Structure 1
Amino acid sequence: MPSFKSARAPKLCIIADDLTGALDSAAPFAGRGMSTTVAFEPEAVDEALATGAEIIAVSTRSREIEPERAAAAVRMVLKQLPHGTPLFKKIDSRLKGHIAEELSALNPSVMLVAPAIPEFRRNVRAGAVTGFGVTEPIPVRSRLGALADRAVVPDTDSLDDLRQALKTAPDALPVGARGLAEAMAEMMTGRAEADAPKPPAGRALFVVGSRDPITLAQVDALKRTRDALWYGAPNGILSETGTSAGLTLVQALPGETEISGADVSANLARSIHPALTAGCDLLFMTGGATAEAILRQMGIRSAMLLGECLPGLPLARAGHLTIIAKSGGFGNGNTLAVLAGLGEKKAS
């Protein structure tokens, strides 16, 4: 494989603090026909650049680590990029993670901070994130640390608001979530609508590591409406395994003793691979830490992103395997049931 130093500069590099964020924010570009590769860790940037993709997205895997290490991970990505590569800093739409420290590593002179996702009814009003999944307004500038005075924080209730924000701050570092990425992708491609790739028919493995209430409701709906072989995994540990010709569902559950989320994710990864992944056509994962742990266990460092099969469900390919990873807080109550149905319809 050629060195990244000989690869052409991408048209945009998206830097996210977790895997689902990298996928979510890159999907609007992939769905509009731009070649897109996602690196699942900073060490895979050279592998992603070597594909020659127009869009590169990188997970720094820094959501849950110490602030200083999070900033160092961002600097590591920057050092590997060709000089002059345009940047997009993806942040969580509910402002989780080490936002101030990671932005300090980028050190922008001015930045457009717009974490709204209007499609999911999550907006910015009076400088605070509000809407779906937000119990109390979250002031945006409070998460920006020493760089707060460099930020433009517009009210954004719609995709058109995000388009206008980009037009009024063309030289600012774009800092946002999937909504801002959608507006950027439209502007870069001239395409209002994105194509939706279809998941494959065949054996599907759904792995649920997130405990977000939104995800738990989606799992309940899936179990009620679809024929799935379900396994509960206390603290991520499976006591038995087996596979279905159709859909196998593995769900992390609370254990007798409380352990860290990272340990739960690591346990899940060891439990399902290779026991349940062998011969799998579709691997769906929810929870960024869960997805990162599973893909690392499988030795998958990057993948080609094709777009979103459903809103908030980016679809990528790594060899023969189709990968879908969802943030815990995305989607509506029947998202997983609808996803399972897409594969069933294709098979029939």
Structure 2
Amino acid sequence: MTVARSWLILADDLTGAADCAIAFARRGRSARVQWGTAGSGAQDSGTDEDVVSHDADSRQLGAEAAAARHAALLDRLHRPGRSVFKKIDSTLRGQPAAELAATLAALRRHGGAAFGILAPAFPATGRTTVAGRIRVQGRPLEETELWRRDHTYATGALPAMLEEAGLRGAAIALATVRAGGDVLRAALSDAARAGAVAVPDAETEDDLARIAEAGLALDAQESLVWIGSAGLAHALAAQEAGPSAPAQEIAAGPGGILVVVGSLAATSRAAARRLAGATRHVAVAPDLLLGADEAARARCRDAVAAGLHAGDDVLVEVAMGESPNLALGPRLADALGAWLAPVAPHLGALVATGGETAAALLAHLGVDGLRLIDEIEPGVSLGLTRGALAVPIVTKAGAFGTEDTLLRAVHHLRAIRHQGSST
């Protein structure tokens, strides 16, 4: 065990910011998720929190814009003694290489040196790293639905991804990782001296635990950037000595649970179908959200509000069809958030699937942050909204979970609503 430290997590979307920060919160550390201009003022520096996880909202940006946003955030949010975790998508969506290069460069401006350990594996959700390449449920990333639908790079090979941003990668084989101790520390130190980003393989949570233990034993922790997904965040949090997470009482709002599914991932769509039989199901077509028929939108929204007001749980699903236009994603998310904002007084709790969907919805509801409380299952976080609305919220990345995940999330929130359940 190492001494507990404070952390700054920089994420490219909201669900990623939450599922990394919850790793620390469920072990008794205070953790908040924030976005936008949060942390700009001295009175809002986040120094009262052990973990500050900031959503850079950069998943949909080009490489140059994403890099500039991360550099500016690190300059604004970095504090002496605060360790840095760069959260990336476990399937390499967005601009992880450009964002990492900018983060390392900004950290060098602060301290004169910077070194990265890149371990994006999240074994609990089927993401592993073998021979420097990402696999999903044992299959090469390039063969998956996720890659076919949305990818930035030509390959799932991590060293090649780093090269695109002018970074060197030093692959560390699984045998070295599993040797652990001095052997693994020496390999990490060699990468640092060579000015390379260490890229260790990892197939299990024990592999990530060895990487975390070895990395935390290195000198100059303030010069070290950890790069990965929630799997690595959990491994790091488990290495720190700290109190057990106390039970926290949270109260639901007056109405039903609103479940919003905007993700195109097959996993989320299957979960929505499973949940539809246990809730009021409202399928919303893109044409309704983006079209000129305000009266039709109002009638549909009134049906959602009436259900929530009556205490019913309502599933709102964006019906994208078989060949969705991915370019509409940001516009649809914003339109969905604006359309649902008037139902806020009737909300008992929220479930939001997909980082872009969750961020847009919360912005329109006047929410300016999340206090994280618990993890329902890997990659599925429970928190409490902050700002104009204070209700329990479950966030989930679109591709995480199973067909039962949304049903379990709703059951968890129903227990809070009916029993004032603690975690």
TM range (shorter): 0.7 to 0.9
Do 2:251 and 2:391's aligned partners in 1 also have CA atoms closer than 8 Å? no
Query: Partner of 1:279 in structure 2?
Result: 346
Q: How far is 1:310 from its partner?
A: 2.9
Query: Partner of 1:93 in structure 2?
Result: 90
Do 1:196 and 1:307's aligned partners in 2 also have CA atoms closer than 8 Å? no
Query: Partner of 1:268 in structure 2?
Result: 336
Correspondence for 2:27 among 29, 32, 46 = 32
For the pair 1:114 / 2:119, whether they are aligned, the reply is yes
Provide closer, same or farther for how the CA distance between residues 120 and 50 of structure 1 changes in structure 2, counting only shifts above 3 A. Answer: closer
Deviations along 1:234-288, one digit per CA (max 9) or x if unpaired, are 11724512232120111111279946100110111011111x2223121111111
For the pair 1:58 / 2:54, whether they are aligned, the reply is yes
Deviations along 1:99-126, one digit per CA (max 9) or x if unpaired, are 1111111126421111111111211111
CA distance in structure 2 between the partners assigned to 1:196 and 1:252 by the alignment: 35
CA distance in structure 1 between the partners assigned to 2:369 and 2:363 by the alignment: 10
Deviations along 1:138-173, one digit per CA (max 9) or x if unpaired, are 211222231133121111111110111123333442
Provide closer, same or farther for how the CA distance between residues 253 and 183 of structure 1 changes in structure 2, counting only shifts above 3 A. Answer: same
Provide closer, same or farther for how the CA distance between residues 219 and 197 of structure 1 changes in structure 2, counting only shifts above 3 A. Answer: farther
For the pair 1:21 / 2:16, whether they are aligned, the reply is yes
Query: Partner of 2:363 in structure 1?
Result: 296
Q: In structure 2, the residue corresponding to 1:143 is in which secondary structure? A: helix
CA distance in structure 2 between the partners assigned to 1:124 and 1:181 by the alignment: 16
Correspondence for 1:45 among 39, 51, 63 = 39
Please give the TM-score of this superposition, normalised by the length of structure 2. 0.73
The alignment-based identity, stated in percent, is 30
Deviations along 1:287-320, one digit per CA (max 9) or x if unpaired, are 1111111111122221211121333221121242
Q: How far is 1:321 from its partner?
A: 1.5
CA distance in structure 2 between the partners assigned to 1:107 and 1:68 by the alignment: 15
Q: How far is 1:223 from its partner?
A: 1.4
Within 5 Å, which residues of 2 pair with 1:157-176?
157-170=203-216, 171=218, 172-176=224-228
Do 1:196 and 1:308's aligned partners in 2 also have CA atoms closer than 8 Å? no
Q: How far is 1:45 from its partner?
A: 2.5
Query: Partner of 2:187 in structure 1?
Result: none
Do 1:45 and 1:77's aligned partners in 2 also have CA atoms closer than 8 Å? no
For the pair 1:69 / 2:65, whether they are aligned, the reply is yes
- The aligned amino acid for 1:301 is D
For the pair 1:234 / 2:285, whether they are aligned, the reply is yes
Q: In structure 2, the residue corresponding to 1:206 is in which secondary structure? A: strand
Do 2:33 and 2:53's aligned partners in 1 also have CA atoms closer than 8 Å? yes
Q: Which moved more, 1:139-148 or 1:211-220?
A: 139-148
Q: In structure 1, the residue corresponding to 2:200 is in which secondary structure? A: coil
Q: In structure 1, the residue corresponding to 2:226 is in which secondary structure? A: strand
Query: Partner of 1:5 in structure 2?
Result: none
Q: Which moved more, 1:230-239 or 1:244-253?
A: 230-239
Runs of 4+ in 1 over 6 A off after TM superposition: 193-199
Please give the TM-score of this superposition, normalised by the length of structure 1. 0.88
Q: In structure 1, the residue corresponding to 2:82 is in which secondary structure? A: coil
Deviations along 1:187-241, one digit per CA (max 9) or x if unpaired, are 12367x87787875552101111011110011011113x1x11111111724512
Provide closer, same or farther for how the CA distance between residues 249 and 339 of structure 1 changes in structure 2, counting only shifts above 3 A. Answer: same
> RMSD value over aligned CA atoms?
2.5
Within 5 Å, which residues of 2 pair with 1:140-155?
140-144=158-162, 145=164, 146-149=166-169, 150-155=196-201
Provide closer, same or farther for how the CA distance between residues 165 and 334 of structure 1 changes in structure 2, counting only shifts above 3 A. Answer: same
- The aligned amino acid for 2:313 is L
Correspondence for 1:223 among 265, 276, 285 = 276
For the pair 1:178 / 2:230, whether they are aligned, the reply is yes
Provide closer, same or farther for how the CA distance between residues 122 and 183 of structure 1 changes in structure 2, counting only shifts above 3 A. Answer: same
Q: Which runs of 5+ in 2 are unaligned?
A: 106-113, 145-154, 170-195, 219-223, 290-296
